[in-house]
Amino acid sequence: MPLTNLQMRDVETLVHPYTNQATIRETGPLVIERAKGIYVYDVDGKAYIEGMAGLWCTSLGYGNEELAETAYEQMKKLSFTHLFGGKSHDPAIELAEKLKEVAPVPISKVFFVCSGSEANDSQVKMVWYMNNALGRPKKKKIISRIKAYHGVTVAAASLTGLPVNHTDFDLPIANILHASCPHFYRFGQDGETEDEFSTRCARELEELIIKEGPDTVAAFIAEPVMGAGGVLVPPKGYFEKIMAVCDAHDIYMIADEVICGFGRLGEWFGSPVLGYKPHAISIAKALTSAYMPVGAVMIPEIMHEALVSESKKIGTFGHGFTYSGHPVGAAVALKTLEIYQRDKIIQGAAAKAPQFQGHLKALGDHPLVGEARGVGLVGALELVADKTSRKAFDAKAGIGAKAAKFAEDEGVILRSVGDALAFCPPLIITPDEVDDLFARAARALDKTHAFAR
Ligand code: PLP
């Protein structure tokens, strides 16, 4: 099909993130014009269920009047002020108080940023800063995991454990290491139980720490459920064993709750669902249901003490973004959290999880699906060439992308992560809409199966 005028203007002007810059010039983009509830509409008026909540973020769906009015009112009252050098404002103070109240572990202070990448970059810098303050300048290495996703800025992309984020970007930077990926379906060995696999992951982590030297390893970072790596749910007991290793070597633990935070797994935060007790937490995305770009780093008292002592020594804490704690973003985040509580959005997500996971598991019987996995209102189907041997498709065949395209034809937006097809709808999805989402996905799978044969 020839490109429309809008598509032509697009490809002549935009660099699209995470897009094959060559093929988009031929296919053109899908141009979305408006949205309401869980639906987005393209320029031709076709409706799609946003089965990925945008990029795992629009938990309250689209067109929420309360959030729009909150932004408008805050813009009229105080469109901008900042938190640098002793300034402050009420929305940021109130939001920090609220976040401390709902946090799953003791949090001393909150540092605001505008994205998940900025949150994780800030975590890295703070860990280095803290260990300088604590007089252990060698303890600087940070361990992430293969297939982790922590963002794309220089340090965050280094933490990310996916080849496309490193290749030819000259990453990862020094002092970032990657431990084993806890995906039993792919990395479990013949005859190994899930529990034995968890034990092996923890043992391999410990071996890495010992090889590097425990006095050089500062921190460990993990998403409770790995999102962009393919919705990888660790086996039961995994975090308990990992935490024991980190505790034994005095390693600061960070949870990247950028996807899991705010109800995605059926509780306020994903860490308790998976038995993870971190020291610090990164948040973004559903903090504002993506109505404004807001993220945060939530830190424990030991980190705060380090920031205080370094400030005494250096004269300031030399880190911060123009929009750290932007008043409009903070006001919208506060309203989002109020809606989560008032409308019992998180309990609602938990209540719909069995239906959602039931549909997902049922699709696990499809001849194309090797593994159906998920928790709460997030999941993925791993598409395989052979169910019995778990043989993957040739990556060049792009079967995951093809399935996502067939889903789009069926009026549902899903995301292919390699050959895993991810599902992450707005938390406000109704039970009838959940049924509809999976009916469309099933038709897309049948078409993919027919295509792949
Ligand atoms: N951390 C996790 C777990 C994410 O899923 C993402 C984005 O998908 C990020 C960090 C990066 O967030 P951003 O794209 O807002 O920089």
Q: Which of 226, 249, 89 is nearest to 148 (CA)?
A: 226
* ipTM greater than cut 0.85: yes
The residue whose CA is least distant from atom 3 of ligand 1 is: 258
3-state secondary structure the chain: CCCCHHHHHHHHHCCCCCCCCCCHHHHCCCCEEEEEECEEEECCCCEEEECCHHHHCCCCCECCHHHHHHHHHHHHHCCCCCCHHHCCCHHHHHHHHHHHHHCCCCCCEEEEECCHHHHHHHHHHHHHHHHHHCCCCCCCEEEEECCCCCCCCHHHHHHCCCHHHCCCCCCCCCCEEEECCCCHHHHCCCCCCHHHHHHHHHHHHHHHHHHHCHHHEEEEEECCCECCCCCECCCCCHHHHHHHHHHHCCCEEEEECCCCCCCCCCCCCHHHHHCCCCCEEEECHHHCCCCCCCEEEEECHHHHHHHHHHHHHHCCCCCCCCCCCCHHHHHHHHHHHHHHHHCCHHHHHHHHHHHHHHHHHHHCCCCCEEEEEEECCEEEEEECCECCCCECCCHHHCHHHHHHHHHHHCCEECEEECCEEEECCCCCCCHHHHHHHHHHHHHHHHHHHHHHC
Whether residue 28 contacts residue 11, with contact meaning beta carbons closer than 8 Å, is answered with yes
Residue 63 region, left (φ>0) first, then alpha (ψ -120 to 50), else beta?
left
| For residue 124, pLDDT beyond 90 | yes
| Nearest atom of ligand 1 to the alpha carbon of 223 | 3
pLDDT average, residue stretch 396-411? 96
What is residue 248's predicted lDDT score, i.e. its pLDDT?
98
Pocket test for ligand 1, best of 56, 57, 114, 117 (most atoms within 8 A of CB): 117
Residues 6+ apart with CB under 8 A from 339: 60, 64, 66, 67, 345
Residues 387, 374: Cα–Cα separation, whole Å? 19
Task: Express each pLDDT in 310-344 by its tens digit.
Answer: 999 999 999 999 999 999 999 999 999 999 999 99
Q: Which of 156, 244, 229, 162 is nearest to 198 (CA)?
A: 244
pLDDT confidence tier of residue 453, bands split at 50, 70 and 90: confident
| Nearest atom of ligand 1 to the alpha carbon of 152 | 16
| Nearest atom of ligand 1 to the alpha carbon of 151 | 11
What is residue 406's predicted lDDT score, i.e. its pLDDT?
98
Residues 296, 404: Cα–Cα separation, whole Å? 31
Burial 425-437 (b: 16+ CB within 10 A, else e): bbbbbeeebbebb
If you measure from the C-alpha of residue 116 to the centroid of ligand 1, how many angstroms do you get, rounded to a whole number?
Answer: 4
Residues 408, 411: Cα–Cα separation, whole Å? 5
Angle between the N-to-C axes of helices 327-342 and 65-77, in degrees from 0 to 180, rounded to the nearest 10 = 150
pTM of the shown model:
0.98
Percent of the chain with pLDDT over 90: 98
Residues 355, 359: Cα–Cα separation, whole Å? 6
| For residue 101, pLDDT beyond 90 | yes
Task: Express each pLDDT in 8-64 by its tens digit.
Answer: 999 999 999 999 999 999 999 999 999 999 999 999 999 999 999 999 999 999 999
Q: How many CB atoms lie within 10 A of CB 129?
A: 19
Pocket test for ligand 1, best of 285, 288, 424 (most atoms within 8 A of CB): 285
If you measure from the C-alpha of residue 280 to the centroid of ligand 1, how many angstroms do you get, rounded to a whole number?
Answer: 16
| For residue 1, pLDDT beyond 90 | no
Task: Express each pLDDT in 155-170 by its tens digit.
Answer: 999 999 999 999 999 9
What is residue 396's predicted lDDT score, i.e. its pLDDT?
87
Cα 406 to Cα 232, 373, 401, 409, 449: the distances in Å are 23, 21, 9, 5, 11
If you measure from the C-alpha of residue 247 to the centroid of ligand 1, how many angstroms do you get, rounded to a whole number?
Answer: 26
The residue whose CA is least distant from atom 5 of ligand 1 is: 259
pLDDT confidence tier of residue 429, bands split at 50, 70 and 90: very high
If you measure from the C-alpha of residue 8 to the centroid of ligand 1, how many angstroms do you get, rounded to a whole number?
Answer: 29
The rounded radius of gyration (Å) of the Cα atoms in the chain is 22
Mean of the per-residue pLDDT values of the chain: 97
Amino acid of residue 306: A
Residues 6+ apart with CB under 8 A from 156: 116, 117, 118, 120, 121, 124, 150
| For residue 98, pLDDT beyond 90 | yes
Residues 12, 24: Cα–Cα separation, whole Å? 11
What is residue 260's predicted lDDT score, i.e. its pLDDT?
98
| Nearest atom of ligand 1 to the alpha carbon of 260 | 3
Burial 83-101 (b: 16+ CB within 10 A, else e): beeeeebebbeebbebbee
Pocket of ligand 1 (CB under 6 A): 55-56, 115-117, 120, 149-151, 223, 227-228, 256, 258-259, 284
Task: Express each pLDDT in 210-259 by its tens digit.
Answer: 999 999 999 999 999 999 999 999 998 999 999 999 999 999 999 999 99
If you measure from the C-alpha of residue 313 to the centroid of ligand 1, how many angstroms do you get, rounded to a whole number?
Answer: 33
What is residue 72's predicted lDDT score, i.e. its pLDDT?
98
Whether residue 260 contacts residue 67, with contact meaning beta carbons closer than 8 Å, is answered with no
| Nearest atom of ligand 1 to the alpha carbon of 285 | 15
